[in-house]
Amino acid sequence: MSLPFHTPHDELIARLVPFVVAPPFNRLALDLAPFGLPIVDEHVIDPLKLSSEQFLTLLQRLDGLTFGPEGMPMPRWVFYDCAELPAAIFGFALRAADTDPRLAAQYPVPKGYAGLVPVSMWAGLPMFRPGHWFGHNLSSLAPVADRVAPGMSLKGLGSVTKALGMKALRVRRLYGATQWASAALFIHSKFGPLELVTAYTPAHSEAETLTYAFDATDESLRATLGDPKARLARPEPSEWIDAHDTATLMRLQDRIEAGERLCIPTAPRRDGERPFVPVAPLP
Amino acid sequence: MLYRYARILDHCEPYLIATDLIASELNAAPLGVRVPTENRINPQHRRHAEFLQQLRLMDTLCFGPSSLEMPPWVFYDCAVMPGAVFGLGTRRADLEPWALEAMRVPANYDGLVPLSMFIAIPMLPGHDPLSRAPGTPPSTWLVYTLDSMNEVAPGIGPAGLLHLTLALGLRVFPIRTLYATTQWRNPKLAHYVELGPLELATAYTPAHTMPRTLTFRTPIDEERLASLLMRPATHPLAPPANVVVDVDDVANLRQIQRELESGVRYELVGAPEARGTYVQAPMVRTTAEGRR
């Protein structure tokens, strides 16, 4: 299976199986062939069914492998109440028989299991306005694969999953939250300039969290997937923010609360161990 | 309809936590109970951090013992960004010293102390969401948190707090179809069932932390909302049960779940009742050929 346009991730997409987790009453709201990539019926997992238990357990383990080290794993009830039941999850999997034993051992995949082993997922929740979503989980096994199975690269899996997941869930404007120092900001900024909704967020587990938003177009999704024909306009940065400088983040937040509109125009850069994030004014 | 709840309204104030993305779309005066401007909380503004911390403590006290406590990032990402939170609270002067201690209210905190909360988020509709007419609100909502401090510390707030929070919360949001999840043994189920028959989407839910969780849906209209407040002895919309289910019998719950998956319809038509150690839920079971 492949996309109708060329990307550097074609080989990766070809060897993985796309899946969706959604109850039957949410299916009609989804695009089950995002950019023409078909998600077959068998791989649309119904979270209300007893038979889905094992796959959903592996999905939760994938989240644990991704966010456990950051101290923000998703409790099982949150998976159900805040993703599987009200909305949907999109991701990629390997068939159990095709899964490298070194990767399988990380979950661990039970002996005799013959279903899909999820290696990535993107989950979000619909917001009040049609087509507006809040993305709250992007998990990828790529960093684990690099560590335990170096020959088996899953490079680019996070970006591919998020872009195709947004297409499958028919996202038109996406909101998200991430930490200023998070490597995930490199992925999020691929979609284009990120409008800053908050710069310092005490309501979150980590106050040094930013909330971003951007309009999702086919152009921005294709650009993220690596389609060389897709190009996005980005303003020049006017300042670079030290991701660990809390006082500056609080001042940025004050400016936003006062009505100033700012964005993150491009990917962060690293100066040694310290990440610096570009900021630019929005008209 | 609110005369029965006068004591609550004398001692408590409503609050609403909503971002600018949704606040103007919600009803900030359900049944005429107006949320004061100072109790309209923008969770993205720094000045509300103390109130949110107090709410976090309440969630810990209510859900911690069941291991269903909400991490703060979930509160932000999965409650106040997609949806909103409504609740009732009081001032420290209205709380007895033991209550202040139980709720760990800091000595220097003089803001509103939340005593109940109701969280609702929009669900995907059963059609292409982009086909919804502009300006039409989402009609299907999920309530995954409903609680009051009275449930863990009886007497900390006026009686009826949970019930009134549910009744007002359902009017804050433009809900036409309500989905909710709760545990079979949770006394809150008795409040929901006063809306009318609850159709089960799941009876046993391994996808949840606590598999003995049910998922249900019910239409919301004026008749059901009025019934919730008036609490008639016999619900006008509820048919008599034809099955009584032991809610702790996992094998039976799994059997009901299998039947649901094969197309049998189950409705909860009354509050589960404890008889000795057995908690029994009255249900109506309907097959494709009609009732059992």
* Average pLDDT score, chain B: 93
Tell me the residues of chain A between 247 and 276 that have a Cβ less than 8 Å away from chain B.
250, 253-254, 257
State how far residue B199 is from chain A, nearest Cα, in angstroms: 14
Token match 């949770």: residue?
B186
State how far residue A115 is from chain B, nearest Cα, in angstroms: 17
Q: Is the pLDDT of residue B292 over 70?
A: no
Q: How far is CA B180 from CA A134, B1, B143, B173, B259, in A?
A: 20, 25, 5, 14, 20
The model's pLDDT over A127-154, given as tens digits with 9 standing for 90+, comes to: 999 999 999 999 999 999 999 988 888 9
Quote the distance between the C-alpha of residue B130 and its chain's center: 28
As beta bridge partners, residue B143 has B120, B180
Q: In the structure, what pLDDT confidence band is assigned to residue A68 with cuts at 50, 70 and 90?
A: confident
Contact A100, A109 (CB under 8 A): no
The model's pLDDT over A181-209, given as tens digits with 9 standing for 90+, comes to: 998 999 999 999 999 999 999 999 899 99
Q: Looking at residue B291, what is its pLDDT?
A: 62
Q: Is the pLDDT of residue B290 over 80?
A: no
What number is the average pLDDT over the span B147-151? Answer: 95
What stretches of chain A show up as alpha helix (H) in DSSP?
Answer: 10-15, 53-67, 76-79, 101-104, 142-148, 157-168, 184-188, 218-225, 246-257
The two tokens of residue A45 are: 């997992």
Q: In the structure, what pLDDT confidence band is assigned to residue B136 with cuts at 50, 70 and 90?
A: confident
Q: Looking at residue B67, what is its pLDDT?
A: 86
Token match 């177009």: residue?
A217
**Alpha carbons B279 and B256: distance in angstroms, whole number:** 16
The two tokens of residue B254 are: 């799994």
Q: Does A201 touch chain B (CB under 8 A)?
A: yes
Q: Looking at residue B132, what is its pLDDT?
A: 65
As beta bridge partners, residue B199 has B217, B267
Contact A282, A195 (CB under 8 A): yes
Q: Which pTM value belongs to this model?
A: 0.94
Torsion angles phi and psi, residue A80, rounded to 5: -75, -55
What number is the average pLDDT over the span B169-181? Answer: 96
Most distant pair of Cα atoms in chain A: their distance: 58
Q: In the structure, what pLDDT confidence band is assigned to residue B127 with cuts at 50, 70 and 90?
A: low
Q: Looking at residue B289, what is its pLDDT?
A: 79
What percent of chain A is helix, strand and coil (3-state, nearest 5)?
Answer: 35, 25, 40
* Chain B nearest-CA residue for A212: B81
- Confirm whether the ipTM is greater than 0.90: yes
The model's pLDDT over B62-86, given as tens digits with 9 standing for 90+, comes to: 998 888 899 999 999 999 999 999 9
Q: Looking at residue B134, what is its pLDDT?
A: 65
Which residue, A267, A44, A11, is CA-closest to A160?
A11
Q: Looking at residue A73, what is its pLDDT?
A: 84
Partner-chain contact A52 B207, CB within 8 Å = yes
Q: Looking at residue A2, what is its pLDDT?
A: 79
Q: Looking at residue A271, what is its pLDDT?
A: 87
Q: Of A69-73, A82-86, B139-143, B258-262, give the lowest mean pLDDT range.
A: A69-73
Residues in chain A within 8 Å Cβ distance of B18: none
* % of chain A at pLDDT higher than 90: 89
What number is the average pLDDT over the span B135-161? Answer: 92
* Chain A nearest-CA residue for B203: A48
State how far residue B4 is from chain A, nearest Cα, in angstroms: 33
Q: Looking at residue B55, what is its pLDDT?
A: 95
Nearest to A84 among B45, B138, B207 (CB): B207
The model's pLDDT over B179-232, given as tens digits with 9 standing for 90+, comes to: 999 999 999 999 999 999 999 999 999 999 999 999 999 999 999 999 998 887
Interface mutation target, options B26, B44, B56, chain A, most CBs of A under 10 Å: B44
Q: Looking at residue B130, what is its pLDDT?
A: 62
Which residue, A65, A55, A155, A144, is CA-closest to A102?
A144
The model's pLDDT over A10-48, given as tens digits with 9 standing for 90+, comes to: 999 999 999 999 999 999 999 999 999 999 999 999 999
Q: Indicate the SS3 state at residue A78.
A: helix
Which residue, B251, B169, B170, B160, is CA-closest to B204?
B251
Q: Is the pLDDT of residue B22 over 90?
A: yes
A3-7, A210-214, B2-6: which has the highest mean pLDDT? A210-214
